[in-house]
Amino acid sequence: MPTRRQFLARSGAAGAALVLAPDALAAPRLLRGGKFSSGVLSGDPTPGGITLWTRVDDVGGTGGVRLEVARDRGFRNVVARRTLTAREAGDHTVKARISGLKPHERYYYRFETRGEDSPVGRFQTALPKDSRETVRFAFFSCQEYSFGYFNAHAALAREDVDFVVNLGDYIYSDVALAPPLAVRDPKFALSRGFSAITRDEYRDRYKTYRTDASLRKMHARFPMISTWDDHEVQNDYAGGDPAGGAVSGDPYSAQRRNTGYDVFFEQMPTFPVRRGGRRLYHSARFGRHVDLFVLDERQYRAAQPFGNARGPGGPEVALGRAMLGRQQLAFARGGIRRSKATWKVIANQVVMMPIKLDDQSFDAWDAWQGYPVEREALLKTIDGVEDVVFVTGDYHAFIAGDVRTAAGKTVATEFVGGSVSSSTEPEVNAIIRLPGWGTPDAPAMPAAELARRKAANPWYSELDYLHHGYVVCEASKASFKATFRKLRTVRRRSTALASSKTYTVKRGRAGL
């Protein structure tokens, strides 16, 4: 491996790749010292490109951070090199888009200041559009820092996948338990209330979460495609409603929402779809077998019906509330209709299948069941398209099942992944000491309650509220496989699995 002196002596571009950075005008002097406490992150892989990110701690002012990308871990075959500008106003983060790379190739990258090296990260570029190779990826959601360890990421880092999909709630701006309920105390500094409000308070969440070595390891191994859900801003907010919808906790404001969005783009390895904007929804192609449609189900949605309270529903639910909004709905319907990929995979924040508590009552009007007009519009489009799969987060349960129209026709399959560490319903009920729900360290689901919910949701093939984890997917010409990786615990550091079950969707068949 080259020495520090050899590395610092190099300058300018290398190889055929191009580094595109928003502030890449004049190359400043490298910052002196500092630490790369947040690790290194890559994101949004394409056949020829990647986005790379890091943050430098314990430095002041403005200065340079050198980025280097190579074909080998020893950095003998360097393909791109650039000095990026880190500013105090930008929290000393640096981010760049690399283009001109070779399809489905592994690369390595690192950052450096004068006196400090970052960890070495790796990424794989996407398959070329004509590739018939199997696409392998994982998806996760809902990682709250205080209640549990990020054991899912420690296990995920050992998987053989090309990329990971983050379905939202990467941070929780408004949740932080204290010991003994918490397994670790983040000690967030807050100006008022219990939620992040200011830019620095949102930043503090990302920094604290990335003190977790398992999360940093996962990021160093795989590029990530991201969307957000509610907790990047505030619990259960509706970004298209001036009042914020059924928000809970500290007061909602459009300024607070926009601050959360801006910090997301600052702290994550992704750029807005349009420069200077906040559009997140987009699509990504992976060979011939996967078109991935990444949705944004927060920014444009109207307020939830019934204030999001559980209940039997009523006429209010039939109102034409926006979930995606007119432009995004047209994007999704048009893209799915035009797609030539074997599998049309929808990266979906909230559950598409109905979620019923019993024969009469519904849970989670914050989910798609609270927005039936747009739901039906999307499903009518899917009804004319084969091989659509929803991969979903948010609900803190493992669910596999059939997506049905209002008329009861199965048109797609949905896989809902358990949370990385955010408390499940049995864990919440155990925390408040409801009889029969166990303890936070050993939660239980009353058998009669589980049986009632399974009977009320016959479209489910699996319903598991007890476990945390993630899902590994394989998309090939013949089938789409989803493997549920369920951890035994998140209350202590362990990657032991409670179970691992694979569902297979055959091509040409809707549902399980």
- Res 17: pLDDT: 80
> Looking at residue 27, what DSSP letter applies?
-
Tell me the C-alpha distance between 265 and 272, whole Å. Answer: 7
CB half-sphere exposure, 206, CA atoms < 13 A: 25
Residues forming CATH 2.60.40.380 domain(s) in the chain: 4-124
CATH class of 135-506: alpha beta
Q: What is the CA radius of gyration of the chain?
A: 22
Residues with Cβ within 8 Å of 397's Cβ and at least 6 positions away in sequence, in order, are: 416, 418, 424, 425, 463, 464, 465
Q: How many residues does the chain have?
A: 512
Question: Pick from 425, 419, 451, 422: which is nearest to 438 by CA?
Answer: 425
Cα–Cα separations (whole angstroms), residue 96 to 47, 53, 244, 257, 410: 16, 7, 33, 25, 43
Residues forming CATH 3.60.21.70 domain(s) in the chain: 135-506
Residues with Cβ within 8 Å of 208's Cβ and at least 6 positions away in sequence, in order, are: 145, 186, 188
Q: Per residue in 166-177, is it b (16+ CB within 10 Å) or e — as a string?
A: bbbbbbbbbbbb
Amino acid, res. 329: L
Cross-sheet strand order for the sheet of 398-404: 282-286, 290-294, 343-348, 388-392, 410-416, 398-404, 460-464
Both tokens of 251, joined, read 């007061």
Cis status, amide bond into 180, omega within 30 of 0: yes
- Res 15: pLDDT: 52
- Res 325: pLDDT: 97
Tell me the C-alpha distance between 223 and 497, whole Å. Answer: 24
What is 102-122 written as a DSSP string? PTT-EEEEEEEEBTEEPPPEE
Helix spans in 25-67 (H): none
Both tokens of 313, joined, read 């529903």
Both tokens of 261, joined, read 């969005």
What is 304-346 written as a DSSP string? PGGGG--B---GGGGS---SS-HHHHHHHHHHHHH--SSEEEE
> Strand 224-226 relative to strand 163-166: parallel, antiparallel, unpaired?
parallel
468 near 494, Cβ under 8 Å? Answer: no
Helix spans in 40-165 (H): 151-156
Strand partners, 503: 482
Tell me the C-alpha distance between 508 and 440, whole Å. Answer: 43
- Res 12: pLDDT: 39
Both tokens of 25, joined, read 């005008």
Looking at domain 4-124, does it have CATH number 3.30.70.1890? Answer: no
- pLDDT tens digits for the chain (512 residues)? 444 434 333 433 445 588 887 765 567 899 999 999 999 999 999 999 999 999 999 999 999 999 999 999 999 999 999 999 999 999 999 999 999 999 999 999 999 999 999 999 999 999 999 999 999 999 999 999 999 999 999 999 999 999 999 999 999 999 899 899 999 999 998 999 899 999 999 999 999 999 999 999 999 999 999 999 999 999 999 999 999 999 988 899 999 999 999 999 999 999 999 988 999 999 999 999 999 999 999 999 999 999 999 999 998 898 899 999 999 999 999 999 999 999 999 999 999 999 999 999 999 899 999 999 999 999 999 999 999 999 999 999 999 999 999 999 999 999 999 999 999 999 999 999 999 999 999 999 999 999 999 999 999 999 999 999 999 999 999 999 999 999 999 999 999 999 999 999 999 999 99
Question: Pick from 139, 158, 269, 162: which is nearest to 217 by CA?
Answer: 158
In 56-105, at which residue ranges do the beta strands (DSSP E only) sit?
Answer: 63-70, 78-86, 93-99
